[in-house]
Amino acid sequence: MLNVLFSAAPKDWDKYRDAIVTALAGAGLETDLRRDHAAENVDYIVYAPSGATLDFTPFTRCKAVLSLWAGVETIITNTTLTQPLARMVDPGMTAGMVEYVCGHVLRHHLGMDRDILRRDTNWQPHDPPLAQDRPVTILGLGELGLAAAQALASLGFAVTGWSRTAKSAPGLRCLHGTDGLWQALTGAQIVVLLLPDTGPTRNILNPETLALTATGAVIINPGRGVLIDDAALLAALDSGQIGHATLDVFRSEPLPPDHAYWAHPHVTVTPHIASGTRPRTAAEVIADNIRRGETGEPFLHLVGRERGY
């Protein structure tokens, strides 16, 4: 019998319990999933920063910590965590992110607001542009960025992806490194941020990099709030260098009511809903990783402490 500790917000227990129990049984594992195991008896921890666990030292026989979240910036700096840490890579979450990104890219590409928000009776035909004429750049070509890039490319967009290490993917222009960032942003009309929060990615959109995009470019950020220098973005919106920003994540969440983003006419705020972890598919990923731990196979989706994601 394996003892699995569920350490996340109390509301998550109702959301995930049945799915995880079902997936663990489906993986042929005999487990006891609870919120209150004695630390020294725990084999695995299903973890979210919203839970109570701050000190991992007493979990002496714990073989892995399995994050319910894709972003691990709040746990990676915890020096008591010496066990392997797997982040969440969930096919359901990936599908949700692809839908969010494609929906918001198409909104801006087609200028949908013009007709949807119209309150007058002006009949003014306009030619919808073609995706092939719209350069879209995705910063971050990982699980989510690559899937979004491929979906946009399949719609015909001219997609450039940027990552830390060199990559290649059919139908995408793949760039990396500092020179690659400059090339990726130069002339981009829509920029999507799907980078993790690490030292090198903070304020990656700043006065210098925002100036590289096409005039009137759109920024879509479902990555992390710290990727954007907020003052620089607001200045670029006011000058017209950036035409619109659709922002899902913020330095401080919930976004404070007096934040300039709420009232800005060229900013769309979504409340960190781009794509949440989906219990059923995520539970299967968790169960598979526990099965791997028990059969001596390497864990999937391990976080690289040195690289920070």
Residues that bind ligand NAP (CB under 6 A): 70-71, 93, 140-145, 163-165, 194-198, 200-201, 222-224, 248-249, 272, 274-275, 309
- Which CB, 166 or 231, lies closer to ligand NAP? 166
Least Å distance, CB 40 to ligand NAP, is 32
- Which CB, 43 or 197, lies closer to ligand NAP? 197
Q: Is 173 left (phi over 0), alpha (psi -120 to 50) or beta?
A: beta
Distance CA(64)–CA(66), nearest Å, equals 6
- Which CB, 165 or 295, lies closer to ligand NAP? 165
Task: Verify whether residue 87 is a known catalytic residue.
Answer: no
Distance CA(264)–CA(188), nearest Å, equals 22
Q: Within 13 Å and on the Cβ side, how many CA atoms surround 286? A: 32
Least Å distance, CB 199 to ligand NAP, is 8
Task: Verify whether residue 224 is a known catalytic residue.
Answer: yes
Least Å distance, CB 218 to ligand NAP, is 17
96: which DSSP letter?
Answer: H
Which of 166, 12, 139, 25 lies closest to 88 in space, CA to CA? 12
Q: Which residue in the shown chain puts its C-beta closest to ligand NAP?
A: 142
Q: Which of 87, 134, 173, 224 is catalytic?
A: 224
- Which CB, 135 or 196, lies closer to ligand NAP? 196
Least Å distance, CB 43 to ligand NAP, is 26
- Which CB, 59 or 162, lies closer to ligand NAP? 162
Least Å distance, CB 300 to ligand NAP, is 12
Q: Which of 272, 291, 301, 305 is catalytic?
A: 272
Least Å distance, CB 76 to ligand NAP, is 11
- Which CB, 84 or 235, lies closer to ligand NAP? 84
> Do the Cβ atoms of 63 and 291 come closer than 8 Å?
no
Catalytically active residues are 224, 272
